């Protein structure tokens, strides 16, 4: 062994992509620890390196390829090292074979529907010392009670449903995550209660479109119903805050708004990806709503939940997006007054309907548009943050700010970052902070005792 370290019993997972993937990595870690593996402090010291991949945009894939390229050297130095590639990218048709051809030193490729098989697959690799591939085209039933090794933190992710049925024309997620499958409410309630007893104060319910929750279950349950049950969950120790992501604006019912407005636990935070402000483009994306419907929803939420934080995802440069369409997006952004937006340049995903559309937009034009959009949104985000100056906010304290100087960092119910002076022992608690100054990406304040 070149390093002189016994690296065989340790693992390191590198995760790309969304929170769903981050949480899947927590399950992968849980399974590895159940097998007796321990976390390696550093990738270089690990006996098993897993890449949990994303393919939503080409940039995400390129990061995986470049890391795989760098791992070649490590494998040469440590032939015993096991390298595994899982997640959304591995699930794409033909990709597993391609990865194994291009990176012949990869030992294991497994798809999103094969995650729970990890112990068995690693066993096969160790036994046979030859590459193993497991990518099922479709999902089986949900496997409950998998071990989870959560990342240290004050909030916990809980998957409530898998997959997506929407097939927005630009998006690869439904192809790599399969059809919608909801977990049974009793399994979710049990997990949340357990997390509360473990001391977590906040849970984030995960699904590609949580508003479809329950449609595939036999019982009469929907997302609003699930939130109501969680609101009244006893034995949950201290779960005080509930968040969820992501909500499809098309399915955000009045009943759901009323449920959230009446709830003490569900935070006043709404992440509602709009994608575009032009009806022509929304139609081509098959989003299922118009700009008018979307803005109506935003108004309903603002009326029912005063002070709500609303954020969004927006894409520029969808095929055929003309200057006037882009201006419709800018105009919608102004009217909605978002607290924040994740902005993306449209990226062609092979196999999706939009990849075949005429009128692909030149990269330079897309860049110019996204810059204009970001400039506008930054101005609005700052204005929205200025509105809370002087107010007192509840903040779930995460710990010390990385900048040092004894500052603590946390988030308010609206998911905004708050920085203030305080003792590090407050980590994990919900405290009151008066906001003294608003910035673009954070609020600063003073602890109220
Ligand atoms: N299920 C969630 C988000 C999934 S992906 C939802 O429906 O909102 C997260 C974001 O990535 C999307 O909201 C979209 O803005 C962006 N995205 C998806 N496909 C993309 C593509 N082909 N090019 C650029 N951005 C994309
Ligand atoms: Fe993709 Fe649309 Fe499903 Fe979101 S709702 S994951 S954007 S297909
Ligand atoms: Fe990426 Fe898969 Fe999430 S494609 S965004 S990791 S669902």
- What CATH number has the domain spanning 10-134? 3.40.50.12160
CA-349 nearest atom, ligand 1: 22
C-alpha 367 to ligand 2 mean position (Å) = 23
Cα(54) to ligand 3 centroid in Å equals 5
Closest by Cα among 152, 242, 264, 162 to 196: 242
Question: Which residue blocks in 148-290 are alpha helix, DSSP H?
Answer: 173-177, 185-198, 223-231, 254-262, 279-285
Q: How far apart are CA 32 and CA 30, in angstroms?
A: 5
Ligand located closest to 275 CA: 1
Phi, psi of 359 (to 5 degrees): 80, 35
Distance 56 CA to ligand 3 centre (A): 6
Every domain of the chain with CATH number 3.80.30.20 lies at 155-386
Q: Which bound ligand lies closest to the C-alpha atom of 315?
A: 1
User: Which ranges in the chain are annotated with CATH 2.40.50.140?
Assistant: 392-448
Ligand 3 pocket by Cβ (under 6 Å): 17-18, 20-21, 54-56, 88, 173, 176-177
One digit per residue, the tens of pLDDT, for the chain of length 449 reads: 333 445 569 999 999 999 999 999 999 999 999 999 999 989 999 999 999 999 999 999 999 999 999 999 999 999 999 999 999 999 999 999 999 999 999 999 999 999 999 999 999 999 988 899 999 988 888 999 999 999 888 999 999 999 999 999 999 999 999 999 999 999 999 999 999 999 999 999 999 999 999 999 998 999 999 999 999 998 777 899 999 999 999 999 999 999 999 999 999 999 999 999 999 999 999 999 999 999 999 999 999 999 999 999 999 999 999 999 999 999 999 999 999 999 999 999 999 999 999 999 999 999 999 999 999 999 999 999 999 999 999 999 999 998 777 899 999 999 999 999 999 999 999 999 999 999 999 999 999 98
Dist. CA 370–CA 374, nearest whole Å: 6
CA distances from 288 to 34, 276, 296, 314 (A): 44, 12, 14, 16
How many CB atoms are closer than 10 A to CB 411? 24
Contact 43, 81 (CB under 8 A): no
Tell me the three state secondary structure of residue 132.
Answer: strand
Q: What is the CA(246)–ligand 2 centre distance, in A?
A: 9
Say how many Å lie between the CA of residue 1 and the centre of ligand 3.
Answer: 36
CA distances from 196 to 234, 237, 384, 429 (A): 10, 4, 32, 13
Q: How far is the CA of 70 from the centre of ligand 1 (A)?
A: 28
Cβ 174 under 6 angstroms from ligand 2: yes
Task: Find out whether the beta carbon of 274 lies less than 6 Å from any atom of ligand 2.
Answer: no
Q: Which ligand is nearest to the CA of 345?
A: 1
Phi–psi pair at 63, nearest 5 degrees: -60, -40
Q: Find out whether the beta carbon of 170 lies less than 6 Å from any atom of ligand 1.
A: yes
From the options 3.40.50.1000, 3.40.190.10, 3.80.30.20, 3.40.640.10, give the CATH code of 155-386: 3.80.30.20
- Ligand number nearest to the C-alpha of 15: 3
User: In a mutational test of the pocket of ligand 2, which residue from 162, 173, 289, 312 has the highest number of ligand atoms less than 8 Å from its CB?
Assistant: 173
- According to CATH, where is 3.40.50.12160 located in the chain? 10-134
| Nearest ligand, measured from the Cα of 19 | 3
Distance in angstroms (rounded) separating the CA atoms of residues 437 and 338: 19
Atom of ligand 2 at shortest range from CA of 275: 7
> Which contacts of 55-60 are long-range, i.e. CB under 8 A and separated by 24 or more positions?
55/88, 55/89, 55/92, 55/95, 55/172, 55/176, 55/349, 56/17, 56/18, 56/88, 56/171, 56/172, 56/173, 56/349, 57/344, 57/347, 57/349, 58/347, 58/348, 59/347, 60/16, 60/17, 60/89
pTM of the entire predicted model: 0.95
Question: Which residue intervals of 249-339 are DSSP H helices?
Answer: 254-262, 279-285, 291-304, 323-336
Residue closest via CA to ligand 1's atom 3 equals 208
Cα of 21 from ligand 3 centre, angstroms: 6
172 alpha carbon – ligand 1 mean position (Å): 9
Pick from 208, 342, 347 the residue to mutate for probing ligand 2's pocket: most ligand atoms within 8 Å of its CB. Answer: 208
Fold of the CATH domain 392-448: OB fold (Dihydrolipoamide Acetyltransferase, E2P) (2.40.50)
Q: Residue 17 Cα, ligand 3 centroid: separation in angstroms?
A: 5
Among candidate residues 158, 157, 209, 205, the one with its CA nearest the CA of residue 181: 209
């Amino acid at each position: 062994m070149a390093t002189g370290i016994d690296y065989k019993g340790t693992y390191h997972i590198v995760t790309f992509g969304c929170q769903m993937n981050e949480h899947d990595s927590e399950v992968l870690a849980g399974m590895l620890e159940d097998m007796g593996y321990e976390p390696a402090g550093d990738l270089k010291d690990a006996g098993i390196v897993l890449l949990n991949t994303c393919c939503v945009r080409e940039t995400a894939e390129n990061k995986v390829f470049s890391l795989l390229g760098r791992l070649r050297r490590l494998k040469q130095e440590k032939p015993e090292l096991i390298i595994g590639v899982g997640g959304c990218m591995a699930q794409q048709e033909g990709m597993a074979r391609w990865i194994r051809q291009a990176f012949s030193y990869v030992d294991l490729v497994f798809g999103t529907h094969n995650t729970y098989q990890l112990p068995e697959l690693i066993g096969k690799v160790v036994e046979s010392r030859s590459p193993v591939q497991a990518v099922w085209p479709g999902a089986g039933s949900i496997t409950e009670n998998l071990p989870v090794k959560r990342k240290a933190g004050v909030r916990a992710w809980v998957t409530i449903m898998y997959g997506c049925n929407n097939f927005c024309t630009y998006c690869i997620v439904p192809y790599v995550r399969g059809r919608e499958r909801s977990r049974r409410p009793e399994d979710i309630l049990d997990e949340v209660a357990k997390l509360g007893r473990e001391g977590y104060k906040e849970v984030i319910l995960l699904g590609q479109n949580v508003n479809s929750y329950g449609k595939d279950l036999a019982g009469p349950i929907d997302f609003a119903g699930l939130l109501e049950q969680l609101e009244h969950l006893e034995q949950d120790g201290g779960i005080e805050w509930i968040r969820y992501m992501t909500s499809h604006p098309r399915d955000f019912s009045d009943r759901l708004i009323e449920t959230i407005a009446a709830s003490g636990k569900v935070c006043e935070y709404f992440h509602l990806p709009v994608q575009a402000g032009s009806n022509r483009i929304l139609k081509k994306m098959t989003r299922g709503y118009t700009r008018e419907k979307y803005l109506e929803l935003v108004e309903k939420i603002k009326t029912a939940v005063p002070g709500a934080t609303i954020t969004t995802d927006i894409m520029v440069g969808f095929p055929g997006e003309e200057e006037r369409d882009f201006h419709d997006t800018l105009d919608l952004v102004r009217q909605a007054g978002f607290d924040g937006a994740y902005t993306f340049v449209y990226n062609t995903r092979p196999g999706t309907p939009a990849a075949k559309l005429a009128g692909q937009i030149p990269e330079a034009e897309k860049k110019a548009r996204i810059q204009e959009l970001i400039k506008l949104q930054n101005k609005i985000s700052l204005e929205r943050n200025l509105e809370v100056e002087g107010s007192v906010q509840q903040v779930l304290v995460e710990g010390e700010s990385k900048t040092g100087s004894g500052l603590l960092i946390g988030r308010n119910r609206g998911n905004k970052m708050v920085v203030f002076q305080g003792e590090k022992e407050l980590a994990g608690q919900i405290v009151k902070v008066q906001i003294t100054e608003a910035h673009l990406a954070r609020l600063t304040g003073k602890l109220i005792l």
